[in-house]
Structure 1
Amino acid sequence: MCNRTGQEGDVTFAGQSLVVDSDGNTLCKAGCEEELVTCEIDLAKCKESRRARPYIALRRPGLYR
């Protein structure tokens, strides 16, 4: 998830972008200031997670409006 940081008009953006793994665990998280974060993602673990959760294949993103 990425989020802007700083002030724009009357809106304050909190920053704190983050990367989570396929189980929802936070792998890395940015602070409140502008920064670049990088993170390695285990693609094999992602595949295994999809196999363990077959209901994800039933999503219908065409209906998400």
Structure 2
Amino acid sequence: MLASYLLALFVSEFDYKESYTKRGVRFRVWSTPNTREKRSYGLKAAIDLMELFEEYFGVQDIAMKQGQL
């Protein structure tokens, strides 16, 4: 169940870049077209941090997809 305060609505033209963790979790980073070149850094950082936390804490995230705006 998703808490209502975790819901955000954005109205704009967005595009995404996606990649996968070693475990197969899909990550997408969404941004406006004029910030397209910055997506790669955010995507790599998110994947690296998720893998680090899963290894450090020994707990895998149950969500098989993640998204960032």
Same fold (TM over 0.5): no
Structure whose CA Rg is larger:
1
Flag the structure with higher helix content.
2
Higher relative contact order (CA 8 A, sep 6+): 2
What interval of TM-score do these two structures reach, taking the shorter chain for normalisation? under 0.3
**What TM-score results when the alignment is normalised by the length of structure 2?**
0.26
